[in-house]
Amino acid sequence: MCRNIKTLHNFAPPATEEEIRASALQFVRKLSGFTRPSKINEIAFNRAVDQTARAARELLESLVTNMAPRDRDVEAAKARARSAHRFQSPDSGRPT
């Protein structure tokens, strides 16, 4: 799975159209191997992004959960902390 595609389900506030479209674009880019399609493939590429975004929106609207929605700010802080821990230098935290 592409690392840039984020989980959009069960957040407060809910995913925006822009977030859904950005995930659809990343998915189509990954499938097609194109970051930016050629002119000849542009129509098919954009149609695939539109269809994927529509399917993603329908999926998100139909999913049901008993869990409380997650807070975007809290989840983002957790992700930053995981990233900082993962990418800290090997010498940090060692006594000299």
pLDDT tens by residue, 22-68 = 999 999 999 999 999 999 999 999 999 999 999 999 999 999 999 98
How would residue 69 be classed by pLDDT, with cut points 50, 70 and 90?
Answer: confident
- Asked if residue 19 has pLDDT above 50, the reply is yes
Rounded CA separation 69/53 (Å)? 22
- Asked if residue 96 has pLDDT above 70, the reply is no
How would residue 92 be classed by pLDDT, with cut points 50, 70 and 90?
Answer: low
Q: Which two tokens stand for residue 62?
A: 């139909």
- Asked if residue 6 has pLDDT above 90, the reply is no
Outline where the chain has alpha helix (H). Answer: 17-32, 39-62, 72-86
Q: What is the pLDDT of residue 1?
A: 46
Percent of the chain with pLDDT over 90: 55
Contact between residue 38 and residue 62 where contact means Cβ atoms under 8 Å apart: no
Domain boundaries, the chain: 11-86
- Asked if residue 91 has pLDDT above 70, the reply is no
Q: What is the pLDDT of residue 73?
A: 85
